[in-house]
Structure formats: C-alpha cells, structure tokens
Amino acid sequence: MSNMGILETIEDVLDRLISLDYEIGESNEVVQEKLGFIIFGGTALLLYNNSRMTSDIDIILLGNIDLNKGNIKEILKNHSVVPNNAIIQYPYLKEVISRAVPINAPFENIEVSVTSKEDLALSKIFSSRPEDERDLIHTNILDEADIEIVRKRYDEYLPNYLGGLGFLPDLDMLLRLRDEFKKEQIVL
C-alpha cells in the first residue's frame, strides 16, 4: 500500500488518476495502448455521490496488459490502484464492461470508466462484506440507480449465486433498511 492518502472527494480521485496517467507516461515501459480500466467499489461510490472515503481505487482491468512486464504493476501499487477482476461477485463481467460510464478527462496513457450505478449497487448487494451493506443503506446509490434494472438483474443472478458462509442477499430487506435510514435522517 502506498502513502497516497485517503480519497475524500471527487477531486482527490481525479488528482490520483492524473498522477497515475503521468507516471505511466514517464515510465520506461512502452505502453502500446492506453491502460484501460473500470473503477468500482468505494471509489465508484465516491465518484457518484461524494459520500464515502476510501484509501484505494479498485479496478477491473481491461485489455491484455501484462502487469508483470515492466513497472506498470508497481506504478499502480504506488497509487493504491488495485486490479481485481475477481472481487466483483456479480457474474456478468462482459455486461458490466459494456455498461460502464467513461470518465471524460484529458488522460494520455489511461482510459478510465466507472461501473454503472446499477452494477455498483448489484456488486454491493452480492457482497457478503458488512461495509457494502452499510454503503447500500447509508448512501443514496440505491435511490439513484434504476431500481427496476437492479431488481431484474438481481432476479436473474440470484438462482446462480454461490454466496459465502450461507449468506444470501435480500434486495427487499436492503430497500426497507434504506427507507428506514432515510426516515431517521429526516427526524434528526
């Protein structure tokens, strides 16, 4: 893990990506094509509603870049950019890639997208991590995502979900908990 610091704002994320883009360009590794990736997890949530801090940028790496060749892997690590195509337990990776939203920034060496709001919500629904459930309840990602699309994809995937330690995600329960949380915030 690098000393890059906590990402608290959209500007922090963009600054980190600009630095990453610059260092990849300055590296001695000749990159034939732009390094393409999709941001997901806490950083995607931060980009969508600026409501969550995170220390790293989880990515789905695109293309056929060999991270063990040259120093690209080290540059990513130094910027706390974590390639992990397996962390999303939601199975339709090709569809997730096709629905990703490009980040329009003047990058020269990287091509960056962020997972759609619906796929972000689904990746958190099908995670067994408590912080992902907290994100769904305490942020507005379920409010901003098209819930009909989320429900359709949830219903398609649920029969094939393997889960962890007996965990079975319950979309209706998460929606109820989110509504209860919003009501509590209005009372406060």
Q: What tens digit of pLDDT does each residue of 110-122 get?
A: 999 999 999 999 9
Q: For residue 1, what pLDDT is reported?
A: 40
* pLDDT interval class at 93 (50, 70, 90): confident
* pLDDT interval class at 108 (50, 70, 90): very high
* pLDDT interval class at 70 (50, 70, 90): confident
Residue 172 dihedral angles phi and psi, to the nearest 5°: -60, -40
91 closest CA partner among 163, 42, 30, 7? 163
- Fill in the amino acid letter for 134: R
Q: What percent of the chain has pLDDT over 70?
A: 87
Mean predicted confidence (pLDDT) in 43-50: 91
pLDDT at position 21 over 50: yes
Mean predicted confidence (pLDDT) in 33-46: 92
Pick 99 or 162 by higher pLDDT. Answer: 99
* pLDDT interval class at 2 (50, 70, 90): very low
Question: Sign of dihedral through CA atoms 93, 100, 132, 67?
Answer: positive
Integer angstrom CA distances of residue 65 from 27, 57, 61, 87, 139: 15, 18, 8, 19, 34
pLDDT at position 150 over 60: yes
Domain chopping of the chain, boundaries: 10-187
CA-CA-CA-CA dihedral for 142, 143, 148, 154, to nearest 10: 0
